[in-house]
Structure 1
Amino acid sequence: MTALLLIPFVLSACSGVQSGEQGPPETKQPEVKKPYTMFVFAQSVTEEEFNERFKTALERKFPHITFRYSAGGKGASITDLVAQGDIPDIIRTDVPTLQTGYLDLGLGQDLTSFVQTHKYDLNRFVPSFIQELTEAAPAGELYGLPVPPYYPMVLYYNKDLFDKFGVTYPKDGMPWEDLVAKARQLSRTDGGVPYRGFSMNYLSVLRDNPFSLPILDPKADQLSASDKWKTIFDHYLRLYALPNNKIETVRANETNAFAKGNVAMQIDSYSIAAVNKAPKDANWDMAAYPLMEGAPKVTGQRGPAYWSLTKQSKHQDEAFQVIMQMLSDEIQMSDSMKGAPTTLVNPSIQAALGKEHPVYRTKNMKAISYFPPASYAKKRDRGLKDVPLATQQSLLGDAFLQTARGQVDVNTALRELGDKLKLELDKEKNK
């Protein structure tokens, strides 16, 4: 019996471990993840941009994943890819095409469960960007997370023309009357050369108005709040009624008028590519969107696009982690410094806008966030037929152009717009 009692001690002594001590900890081998390819699709966003903004950071964090990317193109649209059975894991969506370019194709994947699993904080984002997407979804689903940039409205101005004619520069937060007064002073002919005081990208400006006014009524089959649309039209028509400031008869020409160098001011959306809208070699800058009488103190804006999953993806959880990385503070700070407005509420990232951009670091970038972004325009109530936003915008733009050219009065234009919207709704109902 004594011999038996000694056995544990002998074994411990032989193993070099004293009684009451533990052996050396086992070395845990790092998990080796099986390599695979993840397919990312973003219509019209070049592969060069994707690589510059995201790919390096993604490959560093996910070394086992090879990222395949497509920007679409002929024979490679998302519709083509779905038909071919070549479905991406991640797709870039937006609100206007959420239904036709994502849900109707059977790709929709609600992200709510992934947000819960990863305890992902949606409060990082500008609230309206999340709210607009969930309101646009059939049952309030979260079909994506907002990716920079978004597109706030700003007032571009040509400082050379202001200097030439001795007019003071526009200021952030100036009232609409000041905009009209400056446009009047700058609409003239000098040395046989015509100069215009004002132009605008009216399709975007009307859609992204500071009242957040939708075109089609959210609850009824009619034009939304025609009295408010009349107010908006009247504000801009005052500018186009000025002598020597006639609107271009072709929409694209009016949108591109500022770049010609003989237009003093233009309202349009801000974007990284906005430098291409400015006159070449001109001394230009930006001011905040002027305050329209009766409107809230906000900046009209077009919301961002979204990173979304597809329900066909075999790597959904890791694809969600990839989206998390693409929307990280680190990448959004880099985006902001290069000139892309962040979708986050982080003030330091907002303040960094354009700091590393060769042009924008010299501009009044505070104009973009001088007022908070306007809320999104309310969507149609669920269950009501809708007209594609692109169609609504086109009809609205045509109505404005007719009034600005003096072909019809505002009341007639808006009444006819309402009739055309009803015809489009009838088409949707009969499909």
Structure 2
Amino acid sequence: MALLIVFTGCAAKEPDISFDSSIELKVLYSDKRSFYNDYGNYINMEFPNIAFKVISSAPLYASDRPLVETLPELVAKETPDLLFINAYQQQILYEDDALLPLQQELGEAALDQIPPGVREVLEQQGNGTGEIYGVAASFSTEALYYNKNEFERLGISLPEETMNWEDTIRLARRFANSDTAGLYLANPDPAVLFTKIGLSEGLTFLNKDNTEMKFHTESWENVLLSVKSLYDEKAIPTAASNSDRFIKGSAAMTIGRESYLEQLVNADASFEWGVLPLPSNDPDATPIDLMHLISVHKESINAEEAIKVIRHILSGSGKILDRQNSVLPASMSSATASDAAHPFHFMYTKHAKTYTTLSDEQMKSFSELFNQQFSNYLSDTIQKVINGETAPGRGLQQIEEFGNQQLQLETARRA
């Protein structure tokens, strides 16, 4: 009896998810109707005593002033209890010290519901402290889709989960002398594939304080030479197509997000296909993009109740996250995480390539003018390399020089 009492006292208890009295929670969301369609109605099915007052974030995007100014002002004025925001908005509010740390508040039972890779990205957003300032409702990734029939028809071994980009390019080139594209990309711009491969393999082109750009390196040149080989051997289409060649069955592989599944199903593709993680030198990690984040305001007078709502959403009760369209629910209790046969089930065991997220955040910190001008120059120069008009090393040197010139102008504009 004494031992039973001791063990009972030491056992981990499930956090309380109940609301003993009526309460009103203020919520920051794009608009009232969308909030109730996505979350409010399902929460009220189980907890009808919760009322929600929705504060719309839509007017912020109609303002001539930057979001970095208008968002903190709105949040300070309205002090919403729950904030449904994207990663960029969360970063703004984190830097404004407006968000409540959630690790201890949520407790391990709730945190264990977060997929490991998603949790790593959340912790990265806390500046590497291990703290989190919001949970993800959903996340997204890119993956490699392949046409099993075309591989088997031409007697080529199927792609494997352990392939890196070098393996994938070599495999795509085996289709060079056939009427099947080895690798089809919806965006035919070779610069997109070039940067995707480099960043996913851990390369960088910006220093930590965003003051210097470096592309003219052996590593980046090797990536460019690999991409060029695909085009030289005509293993990849060189022009945009009016139809998706992979869905039509005339491409062996393509890259797409989880939403591409829906397109394949709706198109009633006439071939057997499979999905693998994006190629990588580290088969245990993959890029993860957080799509919808839920945070609690640091000054919320209803923080305890707001946290209970987050626990409820993560717990899988009511299947709220399973109803999110065309994205992956960020809960181990979701149907996708529980279904070993789901094409993206592997995402619930992967670690995150957090350095790819950092590169994205660096570019987002620049002005729209900088990003547009640099992107255009990058695309034009890489295309010249692919066409044989510019040597790979020379092209990368030109991109580096142009990028550093633009960084100086960007610094001057901000001064």
Residues in 2 aligned to 1:352 and 1:396: alpha-carbon distance in whole angstroms: 45
**Paired residues, number:** 372
Deviation at 1:266, TM superposition (A): 1.0
What residue in structure 2 maps to residue 92 of structure 1?
84
Deviation at 1:149, TM superposition (A): 2.1
Identify which range, 304-313 or 386-395, moves more after superposition. Answer: 386-395
Which residue type is aligned with residue 231 of structure 2?
Answer: Y
Is the contact between residue 335 and residue 342 of structure 1 (CA under 8 Å) also seen in structure 2?
yes
Which residue type is aligned with residue 354 of structure 2?
Answer: S
Deviations 1:161-204 (A, max 9, x none): 445545443233245565345423434565xxxx4221335648
Is the contact between residue 218 and residue 224 of structure 1 (CA under 8 Å) also seen in structure 2?
no
Let me know the Cα RMSD of the aligned residues.
4.8
From the superposition, tell whether residues 97 and 273 of structure 1 become closer, same or farther in structure 2 (CA, over 3 Å). Answer: farther
Alignment of 1:151-300 (within 5 A): 151=141, 153-162=142-151, 165-174=154-163, 176=165, 179-188=168-177, 190=179, 195-200=180-185, 203=192, 206-207=195-196, 209-219=199-209, 221-223=211-213, 226-243=217-234, 245-248=236-239, 258-259=246-247, 261-268=249-256, 270-276=257-263, 280-282=267-269, 283-289=271-277, 295-300=281-286
Alignment of 1:107-186 (within 5 A): 108-112=97-101, 114-117=102-105, 119=107, 122=111, 125=114, 126=116, 127-135=119-127, 142-151=132-141, 153-162=142-151, 165-174=154-163, 176=165, 179-186=168-175
From the superposition, tell whether residues 158 and 374 of structure 1 become closer, same or farther in structure 2 (CA, over 3 Å). Answer: same
Is the contact between residue 329 and residue 336 of structure 2 (CA under 8 Å) also seen in structure 1?
yes
Deviations 1:41-77 (A, max 9, x none): 159x993xx6566334421454222346688668766
Is the contact between residue 40 and residue 67 of structure 1 (CA under 8 Å) also seen in structure 2?
no
SS state at 1:109 partner: coil
Q: Please identify the structure whose Cα radius of gyration is greater.
A: 1
SS state at 2:121 partner: helix
Is the contact between residue 154 and residue 367 of structure 1 (CA under 8 Å) also seen in structure 2?
no
Alignment pair present for 1:301 and 2:290:
no
From the superposition, tell whether residues 90 and 75 of structure 1 become closer, same or farther in structure 2 (CA, over 3 Å). Answer: same
Residues in 2 aligned to 1:244 and 1:31: alpha-carbon distance in whole angstroms: 60
From the superposition, tell whether residues 428 and 64 of structure 1 become closer, same or farther in structure 2 (CA, over 3 Å). Answer: farther
Alignment of 1:50-129 (within 5 A): 54-67=39-52, 89-96=81-88, 98-99=90-91, 102=93, 108-112=97-101, 114-117=102-105, 119=107, 122=111, 125=114, 126=116, 127-129=119-121
Deviations 1:293-347 (A, max 9, x none): xx33344313313212345755444323322322225467963999854545x59
TM-score, normalised via structure 2 length? 0.67
Deviation at 1:265, TM superposition (A): 0.9
Is the contact between residue 91 and residue 125 of structure 2 (CA under 8 Å) also seen in structure 1?
no
- Bigger relative contact order, structure 1 or 2, given CA contacts below 8 A and separation 6+? 2
From the superposition, tell whether residues 401 and 39 of structure 1 become closer, same or farther in structure 2 (CA, over 3 Å). Answer: farther
SS state at 2:273 partner: strand
Which residue type is aligned with residue 413 of structure 2?
Answer: N
What residue in structure 2 maps to residue 326 of structure 1?
313
Is the contact between residue 160 and residue 284 of structure 1 (CA under 8 Å) also seen in structure 2?
yes
Alignment pair present for 1:430 and 2:410:
no
Is the contact between residue 43 and residue 318 of structure 2 (CA under 8 Å) also seen in structure 1?
no
From the superposition, tell whether residues 348 and 142 of structure 1 become closer, same or farther in structure 2 (CA, over 3 Å). Answer: closer
Deviations 1:62-99 (A, max 9, x none): 42223466886687669588669677543333444544
From the superposition, tell whether residues 258 and 278 of structure 1 become closer, same or farther in structure 2 (CA, over 3 Å). Answer: farther
SS state at 2:27 partner: strand
Deviation at 1:412, TM superposition (A): 3.0
Is the contact between residue 133 and residue 142 of structure 1 (CA under 8 Å) also seen in structure 2?
yes
SS state at 1:213 partner: coil
Is the contact between residue 307 and residue 323 of structure 1 (CA under 8 Å) also seen in structure 2?
yes
Deviation at 1:131, TM superposition (A): 2.6
Structure 2: state its 5+ residue gaps.
Answer: 1-17
From the superposition, tell whether residues 278 and 284 of structure 1 become closer, same or farther in structure 2 (CA, over 3 Å). Answer: farther
Structure 1: state its 5+ residue gaps.
Answer: 1-29, 356-360
Alignment pair present for 1:391 and 2:371:
yes
Deviation at 1:156, TM superposition (A): 0.8
Which residue type is aligned with residue 133 of structure 1?
Answer: Q
Which residue type is aligned with residue 296 of structure 2?
Answer: L
What residue in structure 2 maps to residue 23 of structure 1?
none
What residue in structure 2 maps to residue 26 of structure 1?
none
Residues in 1 aligned to 2:274 and 2:125: alpha-carbon distance in whole angstroms: 29
Deviations 1:379-417 (A, max 9, x none): 48xxxx953699399469625445444443332333333
Deviation at 1:134, TM superposition (A): 1.2
What residue in structure 1 maps to residue 394 of structure 2?
412
Is the contact between residue 106 and residue 307 of structure 2 (CA under 8 Å) also seen in structure 1?
no
The structure with the largest helix share of the pair is: 2
Is the contact between residue 129 and residue 146 of structure 1 (CA under 8 Å) also seen in structure 2?
no
Is the contact between residue 213 and residue 400 of structure 2 (CA under 8 Å) also seen in structure 1?
yes
From the superposition, tell whether residues 421 and 256 of structure 1 become closer, same or farther in structure 2 (CA, over 3 Å). Answer: farther
From the superposition, tell whether residues 162 and 67 of structure 1 become closer, same or farther in structure 2 (CA, over 3 Å). Answer: farther
TM-score, normalised via structure 1 length? 0.65
